[in-house]
Amino acid sequence: MSEKVIISAAITGGMSVPTQSAAIPVTPEEIVESAVGANAAGAAIVHIHVREPETGRPVADIELFDEVLRGIGERCDVIVQPTTGGGAGMTLEERAAVLPRFRPEMATFNTGSFNFGLFPIAERDLDYEPWELDYLTATRDYVFRNTFADMERICEMVREAETKPELEVYDVGHLYNVRYLLDRGLLDTPIHVQFVLGVMGANAARLDQFMHMHRTATDLFGERFTFSAAGVGYPAEFHLAAMCLMLGGHVRVGLEDNLRVTRSRRAGSNAELVRKAVTMAELFDREPASADEARETFALKGREGVAF
Ligand code: KMH
Ligand code: ZN
């Protein structure tokens, strides 16, 4: 069990709309500020999406990524992990363009195709903008596409960019997809796996499902993997964090995945969610790792190797 726990903060996301919470950072300045605050609170990694500044619509705009990644890099030494998952309706090329352009230390890598339903959120009694309602209800017919051809393409791109992929597994079958990519020599080891549970269309954020996926990963990858979990929604985010703290894994929190800090209180910032994760870590004798300690754990190429 590694004593140090690497905490990631997922700052804004691409599968939510601003009306869901005023705390969701939208503009590049807000995303940079929130990322710097999350790092100061104890996050070694910040996971980054971008949004249209005027509306908050999730976009794959490479110039907005440039502004955000440079803005964060100028303010702190946190590991900046851009998304290659993006948001609903984006093509693989749009989603993966961050890799050759910014050559980040880490980036997400989604390991299978599945339905990604957000439409029940549209039924909540909130004063949505028309585009937000369209964005949410359109997911009734949305498949988050990550075919074997797509994944093999991303394997090439992360290797070329010397970027460590964080393998996002949403269901048991995705673990076998990873095994296939390893067997083909398309992924370098040790791998880092993130169990993402609670997305409608994939596996549920239940402790028994987490244990089943963790056990399956251990069967398939032996000791050659590190892991973390991202629980979507409340209390899933903190329940999975507790499991990872007990099992020697790492933790992801953030407004991308969850809007509540307690059952009755919505989070006012990403830093607030990170602080709760830090408090939990202390209760489990796990100390938050610094960005450089995380770089060592994941054998990252370092900040000097990025292009932003
Ligand atoms: N939105 C999360 C459920 C990515 O950005 O590539 C998973 C995620 C994937 O963060
Ligand atoms: Zn994401």
Measure 124 CA to ligand 2 centroid, in angstroms.
Answer: 23
Banded model confidence at residue 178, pLDDT cuts 50, 70, 90? very high
The stretch 176-187 carries a mean pLDDT of: 98
Q: How far apart, in whole angstroms, are the C-alpha atoms of residue 280 and residue 285?
A: 9
Residue with tokens 């009755």: 264
> What is the overall mean pLDDT for the chain?
97
For the chain, what percent of residues have pLDDT higher than 70?
A: 99
Q: How far is the CA of 215 from the centre of ligand 1 (A)?
A: 22
Residue-level pLDDT at 14: 96
Distances (CA, A) of 206 to 38, 146, 150, 239: 27, 24, 29, 9
Q: How many CB atoms lie within 10 A of CB 123?
A: 9
pLDDT at 90: 96
Average pLDDT for 159-165: 98
Atom of ligand 1 nearest to the CA of 256: 1
Confidence band, pLDDT 50/70/90 cuts, at residue 1: low
User: What is the pLDDT at residue 3?
Assistant: 84
Name the residue with the closest Cα to ligand 1, atom 4.
85
pLDDT at 46: 98
Tokens of 178: 């990873």
DSSP letter at 200 equals B
Q: Find all residues with CB under 8 Å of 101, minimum gap 6, and list them.
A: 62, 65, 66, 307
Q: Is the CB of 232 under 6 A from ligand 1?
A: yes
> What Å distances lie between residue 296 and 4, 17, 62, 105, 161, CA to CA?
11, 35, 28, 12, 18
Segment 247-256, tens digit of pLDDT: 999 999 999 9
Q: What are residue 168's phi and psi, to 5 degrees? A: -85, 110
- Cβ–ligand 1 distance for 83 under 6 Å, the answer yes
Is the pLDDT at 109 greater than 90? The verdict is yes
Residues across the chain: 308
Q: Which pLDDT value is given to residue 223? A: 83
pLDDT band, residue 243 (cuts 50/70/90): very high
Q: What is the pLDDT of residue 119?
A: 98
Q: How many CB atoms lie within 10 A of CB 148?
A: 13
| The pLDDT of residue 77 | 98
Quick one: which atom of ligand 1 is closest to the CA of 196?
A: 3
Give per-residue pLDDT as tens, 11-43. 999 999 999 999 999 999 999 999 999 999 999
168 CB near ligand 1 (under 6 Å): yes
pLDDT tier, 224 (very low <50, low <70, confident <90, very high otherwise):
confident
